Amino acid sequence: MSRTRVHNLMVSSDGFAAGGHVTLEQPIGGAEAIFRWFDGRVIHGVHGIDEPVTVDRAMFSMWGQGIGAEIMGRRKYGPQQGESPDDGWQGWWGDAPPFLTPVFILTHHPRPSIEFENGTSFHFVDASPEEALRLAQDAAGGADVRIGGGPSTVRQFLQADLVDFLHLVIVPIVLGSGVRIWDDLPGLQERFDVESVSTSSGVTHQLWNRKR
Amino acid sequence: MSRTRVHNLMVSSDGFAAGGHVTLEQPIGGAEAIFRWFDGRVIHGVHGIDEPVTVDRAMFSMWGQGIGAEIMGRRKYGPQQGESPDDGWQGWWGDAPPFLTPVFILTHHPRPSIEFENGTSFHFVDASPEEALRLAQDAAGGADVRIGGGPSTVRQFLQADLVDFLHLVIVPIVLGSGVRIWDDLPGLQERFDVESVSTSSGVTHQLWNRKR
């Protein structure tokens, strides 16, 4: 049974999981500090366990395990709005995006798919969460589907009760503004069992498993 | 650079990581309770993340990531002692051992190799830890080598200072007898940085990374 999973969604103490204004210089819209807590890099994908092996990295390494497709929002794909300009933009990730699977990008302005040699492909769909999930599950061939973010997209899938597993990383910083993860989800905990663990880096990992 | 890693080595509160007497009925030599703490099964291998996704399972799932070969002791392979009897024994794991890589089994009584369709192969070598590691690194083709246990084998590699990463799971049970992990390793902590995290199941995961 294919699960729908969210991994490594970093959330500030005040509940923001991205900044408000994505630009070419600010891929997380001004909330880059959430990621830089760790090692200064914005983490786009995680394959295997880096050295040294920390509890944080062990948790992050679940990201790619058993995943057959991803769904992401338009703002994760790029800073453009409206019609796709004919500017050769292929996402932030260069010639070898780290996804290694089909990726379905939710947009009101579809454009032709893009295929990469490493198994990643981008497909642009104007679809509801349910429709997008069906497409992604078909492409995943029985493996799990990852909802890749940003936070607005994750929240849509949570509201539609389509998420089986949610891994949040609560980072002890105060952003003050941005895209909230918790809005319009009152009582979310009633649908999930939650396990938390805090690590020596200061973050708290929360694993939300949908109740059966 | 190929690392030498130990994963999911379960240790009782009193420092035992296996029982003293391995038989066909007792593959862990009477210390099966260490494993049954979790879900009643003796875990031989871990691929991917089970459902529900717990912190323990996330930690266990590092087991196969980036591994190209395993080295194990004779007692992990089977209960026999001395010359290999001609009894068709191929280990505990049936037709599809979970290793999916070459496995080098340390024994003073070598016998012909065994190949399985799923990529696992067993090679029996009468070798020092250093020699076995060289063989395993060649077979791993740049990936990491896992020291698969039992505890006597892990301790040999620790004494020879050949271990880069050690993941211990301290299980809050008292066994009273068995094979100790900590013997003859005074000051081990001076060679490693250690991070610990405890989970809701009651166990503590210790990640030992060799100091650089």
pLDDT grade, residue A197 (50/70/90)? very high
Q: Which pLDDT does position B41 carry in this prediction?
A: 57
Q: How far is the C-alpha of A111 from the C-alpha of A123, rounded, in Å?
A: 8
* Statement: residue B24 has pLDDT above 70: yes
Of A75, A117, A120, A115, which Cα lies nearest the Cα of A97? A120
Cα-based distances in Å from B52 to A54, A195, B56, B58: 22, 10, 11, 10
Q: Nearest to residue B45, comparing CAs of B12, B94, B90?
A: B94
Residue at token pair 């973010």 = A149
CA distance linking residue B165 with residue A89, whole number of Å: 41
- Read off the pLDDT of each residue in A61-71 and give the average, rounded to a whole number: 93
**Residue-by-residue DSSP string for A120-142:** -EEEEE---HHHHHHHHHHHHTT
Read off the pLDDT band of B199 (50, 70, 90). Answer: very high
Looking at residues B169-193, what average pLDDT do you find? 93
**Mean pLDDT, to the nearest integer, of B87-110?**
93
pLDDT at A82: 84
Residues 6+ apart with CB under 8 A from B25: none
Q: Is B135 on the interface with A (CB under 8 A)?
A: no
Is B48 part of any domain?
A: yes
Q: Is residue A86 part of a domain?
A: no
Check pLDDT > 70 for residue B44: no
- pLDDT at residue B88, as a whole number: 86
Q: Which residues of B touch A207 (CB under 8 A)?
A: 52-55, 58
pLDDT at B190 over 80: yes
| Alpha-carbon gap, residue B13 to B10, rounded angstroms | 10
For B98-109, the pLDDT digits (tens) are 999 999 999 999
pLDDT value of position B35:
77
Alpha carbons B49 and B47: distance in angstroms, whole number: 7
d(CA B4, CA A133): 40
HSE value, Cβ hemisphere, 13 Å, CA-based, for B45: 17
Residue B87 lies in a domain: no
Q: Which of residues 181-200 of B touch A (CB under 8 A)?
A: 193, 195, 197-200
Q: Is A23 helix (H, G, I), strand (E, B) or coil?
A: coil
Per-residue pLDDT averaged across B54-58, rounded?
Answer: 90
Judged against a pLDDT cut of 60, whether residue A40 lies above it is answered with no
Total domain count, chain A: 1
Query: What average pLDDT does range A56-74 have in this prediction?
Result: 93
Range B110-127 average pLDDT:
96
pLDDT at B34: 80
Q: Pick the range with the lowest mean pLDDT from A157-166, B46-55, B150-159.
A: B46-55
CB-CB: which of A52, A59, A205 is closest to B193? A52
The first and second tokens of residue A115, run together, are 């295929």
**What is residue A212's predicted lDDT score, i.e. its pLDDT?**
86
pLDDT digits (tens, 9 = 90+) for A90-139: 998 999 999 999 999 999 999 999 999 999 999 999 999 999 999 999 99
Proportion of chain B above pLDDT 70, given as a percent:
96
For the domain that residue B175 is a member of, what is the CATH number?
A: 3.40.430.10
Q: Which residue would you say has higher pLDDT here, A209 or B81?
A: A209
Answer whether residue A43 shows pLDDT above 80: no
User: How far A58 CA sits from the closest chain B CA (Å)?
Assistant: 6
Q: Is A92 contained in some domain?
A: no
What range defines the domain where residue A16 resides? Answer: 4-81+97-210
Query: Do A197 and B193 make contact, defined as CB atoms within 8 angstroms?
Result: no
Q: For this complex, say whether ipTM is above 0.85.
A: no
| H helix or E strand, kind and range, residue B133 | helix B129-140
How far away is chain A from the Cα of B145, in angstroms, using its nearest Cα? 14
Q: Give dist(CA B212, CA B192) in Å, integer.
A: 9
The answer to whether position B85 is within a domain reads: no
Q: Is residue A201 part of a domain?
A: yes
Looking at residue A45, what is its pLDDT?
65
Residue A91 forms part of a structural domain: no
DSSP B149-195: --HHHHHHHHHTT--SEEEEEEES----SSEESSTT-TTGGGGEEEE
> How far is residue A177's CA from residue A123's CA, in Å, rounded to a whole number?
31
Q: Across chain A, what does the average pLDDT equal?
A: 91
Minimum distance, in Å, between the CA of residue B201 and any CA atom of chain A: 10
Mutate: best of A6, A49, A198, partner B, most B CBs <10 A: A49
Which residue does chain A place closest to B48, by CA atoms?
Answer: A65
CA distance B46 to chain A (A): 12
The Cα B64–Cα B56 span in angstroms is 15
If DSSP codes are grouped into helix, strand and coil, which group holds residue A165? strand
- Using pLDDT thresholds of 50, 70 and 90, give the confidence band for residue B85: confident
Structure confidence at residue B111 (pLDDT): 92
Contact B37, B201 (CB under 8 A): yes
pLDDT at B42 over 70: no
Residue A87, domain member (yes or no): no
